[in-house]
Amino acid sequence: MINRDEVLNKIRELSSSIDKLESQIASITTEIDNKKNQLSEIRRSLADVRSQIDNARAKLMKIREELNKLRARRQEIIDSIRRSKSQILELNAEMQKYREKLEAYRRALAAINEYVGGRPIDKDKMKMLIEKLEYYFETTPTDPEWERQFIKTISEIEEELNLADSLEKLRSHIQDIKNRIDEIRKKKEELRSQISSLVAALSSIKEEIVKLKAERESTYKQLVDLKNKREQLKQARDELKKNIVELAAKRKELRGHIFQLREELNKYTILLKAADLSDKYKASLEAKNNARESLRAKADEIYNKLLRGERLTHDEIKILIEAGYLSEE
């Protein structure tokens, strides 16, 4: 026999359990939604960090290319400075040779000047004098002694003329050497000026290289920090995904439990309805029995009245008929 109170208590217990589970599911769903929002935010942050990493790598590549260009330019300048210094050394050696020649020519010039007594020699006059003496020698009869003396005089004059030619040649050589030394000195100044410009350019390039290296170091440190941040975000992302999966599995499990409880609740609801129907049937049957007993008691009383010969009312006759004491005919 169904105990209605027990069934009702069970229904209340099941409904309460379902409500608690639905509350847990709602809480889990809210937590899942919050974690999904966090996951979306982390994914946006991760995308931003990855973009920054790409930019940092591109910047490092650009710095590397610029450093390679500057190093190549620096080497070109160093090579140019070395070539210029080498040229200066060669010019110094050449100048030293010319100075030695100049000193030798000056000594020779001093010796000739000392020989001629330092007096100026008029080459044109000496040439005219030699021509006149030769003409005079050819046209004038002479004795052997005078002829020897005359030839000696002409020889001495010719010797002085040769010395004059030597002096001119020496002076010309000396001037040529001076000019060449001046050219070498000018070339050396040009090379020194070029070296100064190259050294200034080299210093500027070195400063730029130092600056780029510092920028590279800063960018590399930034890249390391970004990579660490990326790993942290990936770990947080994976942890959130794991939590969401776990929460979803728990929610699914709770929904399965609710499904079972609802099935059980439906069974008890059916039992409650059956109990209610049984109670109603019992009450109806009891009411009918009570009405029948009441009718029979009234009919017995009326029937005894009839036996006593008392007059019956129309309603009393109907009661007797309904109770089966009289036929409806």
Per-residue pLDDT tens digits for 202-233? 999 999 999 999 999 999 999 999 999 999 99
150 neighbors 133 (Cβ within 8 angstroms): yes
Please name the residues in contact with 11: beta carbons below 8 A apart, sequence gap of 6 or more: 265, 268, 269, 272
Cα 140 to the chain's mean position, in Å? 112
Per-residue pLDDT tens digits for 45-73? 999 999 999 999 999 999 999 999 999 99
Considering the four listed CATH numbers 3.60.21.10, 3.40.640.10, 2.30.30.90, 1.20.920.20, the one that applies to the domain covering 4-264 is: 1.20.920.20
H-state helical runs in the chain: 4-115, 123-139, 144-307, 314-323
Q: pLDDT band at 304, cuts 50/70/90?
A: confident
Q: What is the DSSP letter of 310?
A: P
17 neighbors 254 (Cβ within 8 angstroms): no
Per-residue confidence (pLDDT) for residue 105, from 0 to 100: 75
Per-residue pLDDT tens digits for 25-40? 999 999 999 999 999 9
Start-to-end Cα distance in the chain: 46
Q: pLDDT band at 271, cuts 50/70/90?
A: confident
Per-residue confidence (pLDDT) for residue 46, from 0 to 100: 95
Question: Of the ranges 19-28, 120-129, 287-296, 310-319, which one carries the lowest mean pLDDT score?
Answer: 120-129
Question: Of the ranges 110-124, 127-141, 235-249, 262-276, which one carries the lowest mean pLDDT score?
Answer: 127-141
Q: pLDDT band at 115, cuts 50/70/90?
A: low
3-state secondary structure 116-166: CCCCCCCHHHHHHHHHHHHHHHHHCCCCHHHHHHHHHHHHHHHHHHHHHHH
**What radius of gyration, in Å, describes the C-alpha atoms of the chain?**
70
The residue among 130 and 316 whose pLDDT is bigger is: 316
Q: pLDDT band at 155, cuts 50/70/90?
A: low
Please name the residues in contact with 141: beta carbons below 8 A apart, sequence gap of 6 or more: none
Find the mean pLDDT for residues 112-139.
55
Please name the residues in contact with 35: beta carbons below 8 A apart, sequence gap of 6 or more: 240, 243, 244, 247
